[in-house]
């Protein structure tokens, strides 16, 4: 049976296989060969150190299955803020979406300003986990490509499409 229209949990790992962070559930809006789209509202998040918290803003998250990224599209009062994790392509395993988080992040603010984040963390973990030269090339390439996509307004960085997904989510869960 397909995942669309179901709730699924999300797990983020580090390069060494250690669980980094988990979300209790996201509602699957789309699952195709290229990506998984989920929506959340007040999702419970558990950090590797046991800290628990709930997301503040509703969000639509797109997990790429082929490219090295996932994008959390947070619907804030001032507009949509995109937080893109440079991460392994997502897989679905049992009842989880799983991926490896590679620290580098790119944020697109509602005013369309783009900022690359966590460079020091990426360098530190690259050394401590022993990222290969090939992996570093892939991650740097993907970071540059995401910046280009953000600046050009290409999917998934399209406000109207994200609002459509979120409105569909609200409509579908109101029927539950």
Of 21, 25, 163, 168, the catalytic one is: 21
User: What is the sign of the dihedral through the CA atoms of 28, 100, 14 and 106?
Assistant: negative
Residue 115 catalytic? no
Integer Cα distance of 61 and 84 in angstroms: 9
Q: Which two tokens stand for residue 81?
A: 């803020």
CB atoms within 10 A of CB 119: 12
Contact of 108 with 46, CB cutoff 8 Å: no
Active-site positions? 21
């Amino acid at each position: 049976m397909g995942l669309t229209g179901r709730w699924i949990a999300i797990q983020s790992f580090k390069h060494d296989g250690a669980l980094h962070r988990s979300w209790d559930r996201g509602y699957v809006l789309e699952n195709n060969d290229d990506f998984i789209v989920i929506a959340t509202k007040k999702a419970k998040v558990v950090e590797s150190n046991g800290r628990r918290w709930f997301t503040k803003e509703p969000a639509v998250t797109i997990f790429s299955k082929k490219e090295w990224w996932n994008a959390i599209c947070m619907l804030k009062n001032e507009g949509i803020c995109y937080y893109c994790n440079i991460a392994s392509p997502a897989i679905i395993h049992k009842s989880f979406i799983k991926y490896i988080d590679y620290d580098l992040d790119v944020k697109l603010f509602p005013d369309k300003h783009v900022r690359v984040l966590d460079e020091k963390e990426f360098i530190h973990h690259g050394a401590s986990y022993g990222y290969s030269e090939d992996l570093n090339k892939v991650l740097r390439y993907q970071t540059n490509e995401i910046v280009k996509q953000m600046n050009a307004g290409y999917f998934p960085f399209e406000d109207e499409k994200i609002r459509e997904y979120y409105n569909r989510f609200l409509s579908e869960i109101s029927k539950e």
